[in-house]
Amino acid sequence: MTISKVKGTYDVLPSESYRWHALEKKVHDLLKVYNIKEMRTPIMEYSEVFHRQSELSDMVTKETYDFNDRGDRRLTLRPEGTAGIIRSYVENKLYASQELEKVYYIGPNFRYERPQKGRYRQFYQFGVEAIGAVDPALDAEMIILAYDFIKRLGLKGVSVRINSLGDDDSRRNYQEALKNHFLPHETTLCDDCKTRLYKNPLRILDCKVDQKHEAVMKAPTPQDYLNDASKVYFHHVLEHLNASKISYEIAPKLVRGLDYYSHTVFEIEADIEGFGAQNVLGGGGRYQKLVSELGGPELGGIGFACGMERLLMALEAENIELAAEDTLDAYVIVFSEHLKPIASKILYDLRQANIIADMNYTQKAFKGQLKQALRFGAKYLIILGDDEYTKGVVGIKNTLTETQEDVPLARITKYMKEKVGK
């Protein structure tokens, strides 16, 4: 019986993995420029890290993978990256230095939702968190970083959608206004939204069922309820974006899908052929209470995340290759089984010089070995037969020019370093 992969997951095959490596390298290289260090946290946390009383988003209430371990402890596979980062920040007392902590992460997340193109139950994200300061300039830096990353991938029409949810007072006033707005329509809302109406009416705006409901379409916006301090904060964020000439639009109904956001929220879009309305490649926002909810001091932070699968799909749709498929510098073709130890020594010496090399291990004849070498894109063939070995040489053939030279066994590595520039 053949066992297939779990629904909503996928395999990255050897012919595809180089694309992942190239994208991950882009992440590491750019975040080094921004002086942001990597942080790695477990893919599972105690459930209370995500299932907090203040978090009523669908992601947490409906889509998490929860289980009891053998010690009867309640655990959750992480559905998003921020909460685990904050848990680690608090547990390891990174706030003690009173310095701003800027970190990034790359890894898998898990959500039990309906699989569709570009949306999986196990999916990868890279994200950035800046924890320990409340400053419009920092909000702008995170937006600029997300914008810069998407643009450096070579995608066109990159832009920012931005909004402000305001501070606690503004948010409370807005939620009360939403509740009053939706109350007359309560009987026509879906069952989930009837509950949201009393617990967190902001989540009605994210509902997939009621998104076309007339009351949702005509709902008030957070901008209508910003107090003066929140308006000033948002104005300063936009000032920084203007100074750097970042293309943005204010999206009055943008609220994002997590309850811990306050003040700035944003998304990054690009013009991608065939993506339609699904051209959002990343997003995030500011959070003011998450650190204290997880046992830390009253410190704010801001972050964003981008889905790696969606980025790779966007690059493929736009025919952008970040790197060529991995190829071999050299492939050793062996004519006789008794010469394989010599071939192994040649491979070892080449690899010590960082020359990418391989040979056949399935007893193929010359034609089969040649076919495999060309399939791997080998630049050079190192041919080792009884005649060559008797003479103390190998034949080295350039697969592009088809020219071949005899090279002494003792000079193979030096010869290849000269040819491939290593």
Same domain for 412 and 267? no
**CATH of residue 116:** 3.30.930.10
Same domain for 259 and 358? no
Q: Give the structural domain span for 151.
A: 17-167+227-317
Same domain for 380 and 272? no
pLDDT digits (tens, 9 = 90+) for 26-64: 999 999 999 999 999 999 999 999 998 777 677 788 899
pLDDT at 215 over 90: no
The tokens 């003792």 sit on which residue? 410
Report the distance separating Cα 145 and Cα 285, nearest Å: 13
Same domain for 86 and 27? yes
pLDDT, residue 282, reads 95
pLDDT at 275 over 90: no
Does residue 249 belong to any structural domain of this protein?
yes
pLDDT, residue 91, reads 98
Strands 156-164 and 248-250: parallel
pLDDT digits (tens, 9 = 90+) for 96-124: 988 999 999 999 999 998 888 778 999 99
Q: In what order do the strands lie in the sheet with 101-110?
A: 37-38, 101-110, 122-131, 301-307, 280-287, 261-271, 156-164, 248-250
Does residue 68 belong to any structural domain of this protein?
yes
Q: In what order do the strands lie in the sheet with 65-68?
A: 44-46, 74-77, 65-68
Number of folded domains that form the chain: 2
pLDDT at 278 over 80: no
Average pLDDT over residues 184-195: 87
Confidence band for 257, pLDDT divided at 50, 70 and 90 = low
Strands 357-359 and 330-334: parallel
* 177-191, 352-366, 373-387: the lowest-pLDDT one: 177-191
pLDDT, residue 175, reads 86
Same domain for 26 and 142? yes
Q: Which of 288, 317, 346 is the last residue of a domain?
A: 317
Q: Which of 317, 343, 368 is the last residue of a domain?
A: 317
**CATH of residue 354:** 3.40.50.800
* 92-106, 125-139, 271-285: the lowest-pLDDT one: 271-285
Does residue 152 belong to any structural domain of this protein?
yes
Phi/psi at 295 (nearest 5 deg)?
95, 5
Same domain for 137 and 254? yes
The set of residues, in sequence order, having a beta carbon less than 8 Å from that of 101 and lying 6+ positions away, is 89, 94, 95, 129, 130, 131, 132
235 or 324, greater pLDDT: 235
pLDDT, residue 284, reads 95
What is the DSSP track for 406-418?
EEEGGGHHHHHHH
For residue 278, what are its two tokens? 């699904």
The tokens 């960082």 sit on which residue? 354
pLDDT, residue 194, reads 85
Instruction: List the one residue out of 334, 401, 398 whose CA is nearest residue 361.
Output: 334
pLDDT at 332 over 90: yes
The set of residues, in sequence order, having a beta carbon less than 8 Å from that of 345 and lying 6+ positions away, is none
Average pLDDT over residues 398-422: 95
pLDDT at 295 over 80: yes
Average pLDDT over residues 382-392: 96
Average pLDDT over residues 356-369: 94
pLDDT at 144 over 90: yes
* 19-28, 50-59, 208-217, 305-314: the lowest-pLDDT one: 50-59
Instruction: List the one residue out of 335, 355, 337 whose CA is nearest residue 419.
Output: 355
> In the Cβ-directed half-sphere of 340, how many Cα atoms lie within 13 Å?
9
Report the distance separating Cα 43 and Cα 23, nearest Å: 21
Measured in whole angstroms, how far is the alpha carbon of residue 287 from the centre of its chain? 20
Instruction: List the one residue out of 44, 22, 70 whose CA is nearest residue 315.
Output: 22
Does residue 214 belong to any structural domain of this protein?
no
pLDDT, residue 43, reads 97
Confidence band for 373, pLDDT divided at 50, 70 and 90 = very high
What is the DSSP track for 252-319?
TT---S-TTEEEEEEEEEEE-TTTGGG-EEEEEEEESSHHHHTTS-S--EEEEEEEHHHHHHHHHHTT
Measured in whole angstroms, how far is the alpha carbon of residue 305 from the centre of its chain? 7
Same domain for 250 and 112? yes
Average pLDDT over residues 65-73: 97
Average pLDDT over residues 146-172: 94
Same domain for 233 and 155? yes
Same domain for 99 and 61? yes
pLDDT at 421 over 90: no
DSSP-H helix ranges across 116-227: 136-152, 168-182, 191-199, 214-217
Confidence band for 277, pLDDT divided at 50, 70 and 90 = low
Report the distance separating Cα 268 and Cα 146, nearest Å: 7
Positive or negative: CA dihedral 310, 311, 312, 317: positive
Same domain for 357 and 284? no
pLDDT at 154 over 70: yes
Average pLDDT over residues 169-184: 88
pLDDT, residue 262, reads 87
Average pLDDT over residues 254-274: 86
Average pLDDT over residues 369-373: 95
Report the distance separating Cα 362 and Cα 177, nearest Å: 72
Q: How far is CA 40 from CA 81, 88, 276, 300, in A?
A: 10, 9, 34, 21
Confidence band for 7, pLDDT divided at 50, 70 and 90 = very high
Confidence band for 330, pLDDT divided at 50, 70 and 90 = very high
